[in-house]
């Protein structure tokens, strides 16, 4: 019985590892949207059996990152800017609730960690380091969802975030966006420090709505560039 138990644990670990590797490759753009893959192809490349790969693909499909098409195999989904805007509208409500719960549950040590992240964000803004800032942004929000302490909310939030990772750096292309984002995170951190759930909810929703505004501006810029290409082939 002991050996059987260990086999199950080993299998679960293998499927999770395959899921993580595939997810990172999709999010980073190493596997392009509309790419067609097969279980056999992935299993051969990874050097493992198709069973844990199938499990990993099912997880990715549940998150909207891939779709399973009969007789065609596994297709990598493409997330459009319009999709991202819709995700942000949902995320606005979720982030508000997460911050509200976090403000209720947060302890002194966690407040200290939040303020350290804010300090690191300030440094990355001063150095105009957008990649580092993006990583800190992710860390900030991941910490909040953990402090909130609602497992179902965390699962739903993480699934939504997984589908939009490729866009996280997009709005930071705008020169004003990073300093503005920093101010918004300071406001959220201040509400958490004050342990004010209502203020934390409001400031978090303001932050996401601000991203939506910046995204709309980016779409106008992109549309303008497309028109220029048509007029000047």
pLDDT in tens, 188-224: 999 999 999 999 999 999 999 999 998 888 777 766 6
Label residue 3 by pLDDT band (50, 70, 90): very low
- What topology is assigned to 81-231 in CATH? 1.20.120
Per-residue confidence (pLDDT) for residue 110, from 0 to 100? 98
Question: In terms of pLDDT, which residue wins out, 118 or 52?
Answer: 118
Report the sign of the C-alpha dihedral through residues 124, 129, 131, 137, in that order. positive
Q: Where are the beta strands (DSSP E) in the chain?
A: 36-37, 66-69, 73-76
Per-residue confidence (pLDDT) for residue 11, from 0 to 100? 56
Map out the domains of the chain as residue ranges: 2-76, 81-231
Label residue 74 by pLDDT band (50, 70, 90): very high
The b/e string for 63-93 (b: 16+ C-beta within 10 A; e otherwise) is bbbbeeeeeebbebbebeeeebbebbeebbe
Range with the lowest mean pLDDT among 17-21, 92-96, 115-119, 120-124?
17-21
Output the pTM of the full model: 0.71
- Tokens (6 digits) for 217: 């501006």
Please give the Cα distance from 177 to 210 (Å, whole number): 9
73-76 and 66-69: which strand pairing? antiparallel
Q: Residues of the chain with pLDDT > 90: what percent?
A: 46
State whether CATH 3.30.365.10 applies to domain 2-76: no
Range with the lowest mean pLDDT among 14-23, 36-45, 51-60, 224-233?
224-233
CA angle 223, 226, 230 (to 5 degrees): 140
List residues bridging with 76 in a β-sheet.
66
């Amino acid at each position: 019985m002991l050996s059987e138990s260990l086999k199950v644990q080993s299998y679960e670990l293998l499927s999770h590892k395959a899921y993580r590797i595939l997810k990172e490759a999709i999010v980073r753009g190493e596997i392009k949207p509309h790419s067609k893959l097969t279980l056999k192809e992935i299993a051969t490349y990874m050097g493992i059996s198709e069973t844990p790969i199938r499990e990993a693909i099912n997880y990715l499909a549940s998150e909207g990152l891939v779709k399973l098409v009969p007789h065609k195999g596994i297709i990598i989904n493409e997330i459009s800017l319009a999709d991202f805007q819709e995700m942000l509208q949902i995320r606005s409500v979720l982030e508000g609730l997460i911050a509200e719960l976090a403000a209720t549950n947060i302890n002194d040590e966690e407040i200290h960690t939040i303020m350290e992240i804010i300090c690191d964000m300030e440094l990355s803004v001063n150095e105009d380091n957008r990649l580092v800032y993006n990583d800190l942004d992710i860390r900030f929000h991941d910490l909040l969802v953990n402090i909130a302490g609602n497992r179902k909310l965390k699962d739903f939030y993480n699934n939504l975030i997984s589908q939009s990772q490729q866009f996280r750096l997009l709005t930071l292309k705008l020169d004003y966006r990073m300093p503005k984002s920093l101010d918004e995170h300071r406001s959220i951190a201040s509400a958490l420090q004050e342990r004010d759930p209502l203020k934390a909810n409001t400031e978090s929703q303001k932050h996401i709505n601000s991203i939506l505004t910046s995204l709309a501006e980016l779409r106008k810029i992109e549309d303008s560039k497309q028109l220029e290409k048509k007029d000047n082939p």
